[in-house]
Amino acid sequence: MNDAGSIVKDTLALVNYAPAAQVSHLAPRPVPFAKGVAMAEPKQESLDKMWKYVKGFAEKSGTTMHPTPAVTEVVVKGLAMHMDELGKPLCPCNFYKDKQAEAKLRRWMCACDEMQIYKYCHCLLFVREDGLPITEYLPEGHEGREVYGVVTDPTPNKGRALKHKAAQSSSLPSDTNTK
């Protein structure tokens, strides 16, 4: 297997790890994966739905999918798995103490609040063509700005459907206990 394939499998194994008590009896059939870790595969219908959504949202928001296909594939697969498990595309890049409760809150539903308010995708699913996440709208001190610096938005007239919440938001979604 090539390095990209190993990275995707190892990343999916980490993203989708859950204690046995959290695994539903309705979960899709486990598939052997990444050094003995069994993982469920999402339904093809869910994968197709998530690919359609991601492509449409990238266009609508003036972003692109990550230029490394493995990055995009692992996030889309995680979204599809959450569609099967929860009926909603909960961000697969966070750890949740209670996925069901988090799904009801909406803040980490793709496209999450950070994407809708600041046009920042911590999963690196929705980025600029060069693969960098847009950080120019993030408040100072946000981890995205700390890591990437100020990365400008090449399409400032697209995306940010909830930008009006930026001024009123005293805490960011990433400041919660979900991570």
Q: Is 93 a catalytic residue?
A: yes
Query: Which of these is catalytic: 91, 93, 112, 121?
Result: 93
- Give the H or E element holding residue 33: strand 30-33
Among the listed residues 51, 105, 26, the one whose alpha carbon sits nearest the alpha carbon of residue 96: 105
- The catalytic residue positions are 93
